[in-house]
Amino acid sequence: MFIYFECSHGHRLKTDRRHAGKPSQCPQCRIPLTVPQPQANPITDSGVVRLLGEHQAPAKPSFAALEPEQACPRCGGEIATAARICKHCEVYLAPDQKLWNVSLKSSSKRR
């Protein structure tokens, strides 16, 4: 971290914090000076808000608008338009709307 300050002639200076409080001189005008202690600038909530701006919560999306629903051709249950398997009767809906029976439950191994 650096300390930014000016000499008595207005030259802008920058030095490392470890030099705080030590005697030095301005590299431009050679005037003797003492490096000041770093300023503690506490960050307040209002200061953060000023820097970042007011927070506005995003609007909650409507899931009905995101997933339009349709009726399952087999059971009539409401399913998402993009769904390929009905969550009610577990029937596979092919893109051409042919029905295929598919079990979503774990199948037992055949011997």
Where does the pLDDT of residue 96 fall: very low under 50, low under 70, confident under 90, or very high at 90 and above? low
Question: Tell me, what's the pLDDT at 111?
Answer: 45
Question: Tell me, what's the pLDDT at 65?
Answer: 56
Q: Report which secondary-structure segment, H or E, holds 99.
A: strand 99-101
Where does the pLDDT of residue 105 fall: very low under 50, low under 70, confident under 90, or very high at 90 and above? low
Average pLDDT over residues 72-99: 79
- Backbone angles phi and psi of 33, in degrees to 5: -155, 165
Q: Report which secondary-structure segment, H or E, holds 14.
A: strand 12-16
DSSP string, 28-90: TT--EEEPPPPP--PPPHHHHHHHH----PPPPPPHHHHS-EEE-TTT--EEETT-SB-TTT-
Ranges of each domain in the chain: 2-39, 68-111
- Backbone angles phi and psi of 65, in degrees to 5: -75, -30
Residue among 95, 78, 96 at smallest CA distance from 87? 78
Prediction pTM value: 0.36
Question: Tell me, what's the pLDDT at 31?
Answer: 94
DSSP 8-class letter at 105:
S
